[in-house]
Structure 1
């Protein structure tokens, strides 16, 4: 018989063997399950110290008694618990079964505890941080959750199921998770503790589960905007002069970079773990009587636009300081969430030697001098196996807690001192680290699977070092959430690379900096939902059966597919090769021919809207007034651009500007809508201009701006930033125009493009209607002969009719009409013909593609390849390849 449902988010009961059980609905989709032989249930460290936050004391929940069972029901999930043996069944609110106990849980024995849950035959699992390095689908594995240098720096005991549920084990001790290895249809976890504590999360797909997991353990931090630029780590024995030279070489070579880091050699004592760190007296001689200001090497770096990062070593007792901070801020000592036999007596507690000083306190002087970031080596557990910490915990109990405490104290100290966002790199992490620090995978270069698994475990700000001596390494290193070159004991500055790699490095660095608003908006989305910037294919294409095996490619945000080998799988949809402009329709496996100037495949998903910034040497200079929008029309789509001050934590107070940009492409019409910016932040530009580049598949017949016709500019190679006209570049099929946001921020910008319906879907090279006639060989007009001479002399740079007209002191509109009448084609088409003929001659003469692009004034090799392919119907690489003469 059942009783009437009662409102209760928590149930308590005791099993026949004396085991106490407490189950709580901590959210409408999440249940916490605990069991032990004490009815008090002291909070374990992750909850005690706030790395898991249940925020609120429970969800609206009904508890219905059904004999020896009790049913907890929320709006989104149900948990059916058997009070005789502790088994349970998790379902969605509609009754859909998610998982159930495989056997009664074992607890309190000499072997510790073990909990087992059923798995269906087709079920798959993802997560566990960087515990696994050879796959992203984890079924069939048995994993030890234990921090170990290189082997597993950031384990996270979180698993997502393809059936729409997830589990988080709530312990800081090492433990084991078995995902169908020992018993094929059972997920089990266990450890040496005498109690167990875990969370069950109900959801739909992995995106929903990540959202709910990071809501429980902390949203990923949005780092200072300059952190998404390039970081360079100097040689560990570098001097102040070497560091300044590193910075100068970035600026001399035209390579954007934002942060320079120092390895442990900066310290007076190599790898100094104490709170008495000082600058090395010879390598970094900073006079004690004048340690800060513009005359120091830090002042010189700041003038060049660089931030400075320091490597830190630490074995400080972070537990004592954390308890002291809690007492200072709340007025009460936190509950000790460990077993009574190891708990410290709060009245008798005293700090261990060296703990009286706040750890961050000795770093304030370096921040005052100009240090902006820190990299944490942290605590080596193997050196202190018998240590008991100030809060009474053993080394084993603190194993996964220490780095969380240290990262938070660094985060709290820096932000409290400066009012700015902290930039902390940590070599180690655990559940909740994403809120306080970025993590570094160590001195290994291609750690794609490790990064993807971390990203599928909530840790979205993870990075691996760049291998600068290989094209594939440069490709992968720049196309991550964060980007870092690490010299360590070597000399890895890009200025020391051979000319080809240097040119490639520079091009990729400029590409990354152009994409900063795209990456930064994705970081904001991650902070709201837990969906990472760098995404395993499974996260984006869960219904594609190939997704689990795609371990050498990933999505960077919503729109970019990055491949690390030349064999790439394109999921369903249309994909545009970034390097060549070629379009491919998925699903298909594609053998790419990567151009010589690139390090790997890069595809754009048709339907994308990608915001870009103008070229710059470093970030942190405020949002530009002009934002570029690369639009790839396909069906309909909407994109959200996030902007803030890039420095402070005001974004947490919703001081963010949000811009909605969308389009709809139907038949022969394309409609684009740019909403006014919504929100405000310090330093926000008063005006906003958008420079649109619309990648069309047909030549437009008309363009309307806010309902009014806009004129086609007579010189389609001229200045695209004119707001009273638009341009069409036939060679690259680009519509270009610049529009301005409504000054009153009341009305959207509306752009409508009309095409001739007969041209839709036909290759540009096959459209004959409206094509200009063949150019004349020459002209008898003296002025036009002067123009032709200017073109012949200026093919190595970008030529516009406006510029030539200025040199010849004539009106550009008059010159445009005269040139077309005399030569039979527009000026821009004539210049393109000349450049493409020259390009073909140089390629057949075995010149490198990059050299040809440079010699003809193209901004980068990718643009040149796209224009060449549109003009000649083949890529430069195919022209250079051996084969029949053309």
Structure 2
């Protein structure tokens, strides 16, 4: 039994299956024939990065790694076992390719046996019917308003997951046509999958984000409140609303400007510029100076300014340039000679020999981000990438990398985010943050997403929780700020974005009743900023999302898989939305944040009244320790000098408190402080401060508020 990393099995129809073992119980399975398929675009562009190889024992057609073994047979079927017990096996119809050549191959199918009681989760925001995938069929293909973040990663409750290493459309039928079979199919590709092993959904999400990138840690101000300005607003409107929110004590950190702020409405080019008409109080040429004055004034008041973008740029021009540099590929140097059939000809007039491109938008001599530098120089801190253009299908488009929409449609948005937010950090040495509506594998690495122009109701809630099940933590909606249920949902999400694009329903400018409700939730949000920020740090290290569906937090509870209007925020807070007074609580004691009462959970429906000025339930789990901050009008890491711990005792618990400067990239070099706080009985124990900048936490004063006891 030789110990090595890979082996190949010769199969029927002149096909070969190759297995490669990696650390942390990950195996890659690829098919080939007479051709050797190119690496996926996800690999070429550095989105998928394989972990270190792992030594594995090979015996016959079985790869043994740790407590697992993967058997591959000549008929292309395979089975995965843990300590000898089966956890996955292929079913009839499984085919790693239809032919041994790329030209003739029509694609592959992975057909899995579905065991009794087996449940499947994952695939990202690709449908908004339910979290449990059993009984569903569909396709992973970006489409408004149905499918915004298709991610080809699925997890089984039996302890394995499969990541389909493709950007093509993936079709699935999970125990719908046949209750004992799950089928996944990709056209025009040889099989290329990663099989992930793990003892829980959380473990599998951690390994998936290890492979496709951990969530980035955004600026701390991103956890404050965002307001998107009314489409027709002017410079004066922005200043009046900004000062008005401060006067009305409505916290806000981020103000976003929409497409009308560009000289050309919905400008998809890179020649975009500020619209003179939004600065009507300043005659030409003085209005240009007013841009910076407006942004500087807002910055002094604690606001960051964001700018809308839309794009139909071919991002693969720059992505190929970077991939070639990273992979050491070289391009032929230009010269004054042309070689034709072995004969060199002198070129005296070269203007007729260059390539002519039908794409009149993309400038091949510059990166996408280059045209955004002038806006960053003006003081813009983040960007919102619109669905306009890239969300559309382009059936006849040939991208610069030689691919068509079949491989680029799902990927294009991700490349825009990768370059926009990555290049912002390179240019400014500051952390990027921003939002975009669509993405695919690797979405968690670059920025956040919102659920598109679909509001902030029930369907988007399901989409958000689907995103969390593939490790995408920074996701949100357009908060419906004009009713209490929308406020309740929106202010408890990882990011809170109040969209006034279509109507100027700004926080603090509504009815007296809604203003009071909005202020309560805004203040609660600001108190919880440090809790969310510490959870974001945890996500950046483990992949565990801030917001967690009940089926992720309580996978052993059968009823949890049907709860698509409930979620945990970290380990301690439980919220529901659009559920009325009825609520199911997991086993244990739960403290009602609104009434102060303690309820016993048993997994059954209880009727617990929601106050009129609240939009849903909010509970603390028994054994909770939550860091809270004094209410401020905007986030300021330097102002974190005191923390009050909200404690609901009853069982032991721990929490990693995290702090850094909230803005720069220094945390990547260890410039942060983290401290484990443990609850024992009614006492808190503060562990040693870790990290390269202990001063962030050394002088913080701690107080404790015990509830429910």
TM-score relative to the length of structure 2:
0.91
In the alignment, which residue of structure 2 is the partner of 1:743? none
Q: Offset at 1:182?
A: 2.2
SS of corresponding position for 2:556: coil
Matched, 1:519 2:532: yes
SS of corresponding position for 1:496: coil
Q: Offset at 1:163?
A: 0.9
Q: Mark the CA change 1:333 to 1:450 in structure 2 (over 3 Å): closer, same or farther.
A: farther
Q: Mark the CA change 1:377 to 1:206 in structure 2 (over 3 Å): closer, same or farther.
A: same
Matched, 1:528 2:541: yes
Distance 2:106 2:36 in 1: 22
Matched, 1:689 2:676: no
Alignment RMSD (CA, Å):
2.1
Q: Offset at 1:685?
A: 5.7
Select 1:307's aligned residue among 304, 307, 312.
Answer: 304
Q: Give 1:560-639 correspondences, 5 Å limit.
A: 560-564=573-577, 565=579, 566-587=581-602, 588-639=604-655
In the alignment, which residue of structure 2 is the partner of 1:673? 685
Bigger mean CA offset, 188-197 vs 386-395: 188-197
Q: Offset at 1:143?
A: 1.5
Q: Offset at 1:175?
A: 2.1
Is 1:377–1:426's contact at 8 Å kept on the other side of the alignment? yes
Distance 2:296 2:683 in 1: 50
Distance 1:171 1:277 in 2: 34
Matched, 1:78 2:69: yes
Distance 2:396 2:296 in 1: 45
Distance 1:417 1:582 in 2: 51
In the alignment, which residue of structure 1 is the partner of 2:338? none
In the alignment, which residue of structure 1 is the partner of 2:18? 22
In the alignment, which residue of structure 1 is the partner of 2:562? 549
Is 1:36–1:194's contact at 8 Å kept on the other side of the alignment? no
Is 1:166–1:201's contact at 8 Å kept on the other side of the alignment? yes
Q: Mark the CA change 1:298 to 1:596 in structure 2 (over 3 Å): closer, same or farther.
A: same
Distance 2:431 2:161 in 1: 31
In the alignment, which residue of structure 1 is the partner of 2:329? 332
SS of corresponding position for 1:628: strand
Matched, 1:97 2:112: no
SS of corresponding position for 1:494: coil
Bigger mean CA offset, 274-283 vs 394-403: 394-403
Q: Offset at 1:35?
A: 1.2
In the alignment, which residue of structure 2 is the partner of 1:385? 395
What residue ranges of structure 2 are gaps of 5+ in the alignment?
A: 100-104, 332-352
Cα deviation 1:550-607 (Å, max 9, x = unaligned): 2222111111111222211111010011011101111142212122332211111111
Is 2:142–2:438's contact at 8 Å kept on the other side of the alignment? yes
In the alignment, which residue of structure 2 is the partner of 1:558? 571
In the alignment, which residue of structure 2 is the partner of 1:414? 424
Q: Give 1:720-869 correspondences, 5 Å limit.
A: none
SS of corresponding position for 1:554: strand
Q: Offset at 1:432?
A: 0.5
SS of corresponding position for 1:311: strand
Cα deviation 1:431-463 (Å, max 9, x = unaligned): 101100101102221121111111001111110
Q: Mark the CA change 1:185 to 1:374 in structure 2 (over 3 Å): closer, same or farther.
A: same
SS of corresponding position for 1:310: strand
Q: Offset at 1:686?
A: 5.1
Matched, 1:118 2:113: yes
Is 1:29–1:201's contact at 8 Å kept on the other side of the alignment? yes
Matched, 1:263 2:263: no
Matched, 1:49 2:59: no
In the alignment, which residue of structure 2 is the partner of 1:738? none
In the alignment, which residue of structure 1 is the partner of 2:406? 396
Distance 1:628 1:29 in 2: 41
What residue ranges of structure 1 are gaps of 5+ in the alignment?
A: 335-346, 698-886
Matched, 1:171 2:166: yes
In the alignment, which residue of structure 2 is the partner of 1:371? 380
Is 2:492–2:525's contact at 8 Å kept on the other side of the alignment? yes
Distance 2:536 2:646 in 1: 19
TM-score relative to the length of structure 1:
0.73
Is 1:36–1:108's contact at 8 Å kept on the other side of the alignment? no
Q: Mark the CA change 1:288 to 1:332 in structure 2 (over 3 Å): closer, same or farther.
A: farther
Q: Offset at 1:680?
A: 3.4
Q: Offset at 1:123?
A: 0.3
Cα deviation 1:56-79 (Å, max 9, x = unaligned): 3x21211112xxxx1111124221
Matched, 1:460 2:476: no
Q: Offset at 1:49?
A: 1.1
In the alignment, which residue of structure 1 is the partner of 2:98? 108
SS of corresponding position for 1:396: helix
Distance 1:55 1:662 in 2: 32
In the alignment, which residue of structure 1 is the partner of 2:501? 488
Distance 1:422 1:516 in 2: 18
Distance 1:284 1:683 in 2: 44
Distance 1:163 1:590 in 2: 31
In the alignment, which residue of structure 2 is the partner of 1:9? 5
Distance 1:437 1:405 in 2: 12
Is 1:466–1:474's contact at 8 Å kept on the other side of the alignment? yes
SS of corresponding position for 1:299: helix
Q: Mark the CA change 1:194 to 1:561 in structure 2 (over 3 Å): closer, same or farther.
A: closer
Q: Offset at 1:384?
A: 2.5
Matched, 1:36 2:27: no
Distance 1:7 1:176 in 2: 37
Select 1:473's aligned residue among 483, 486, 491.
Answer: 486
Determine which structure has greater relative contact order: mean sequence separation of CA pairs < 8 Å that are 6+ residues apart, divided by chain length.
Answer: 2
Q: Offset at 1:302?
A: 0.8
Q: Offset at 1:653?
A: 2.8
Higher Rg: 1
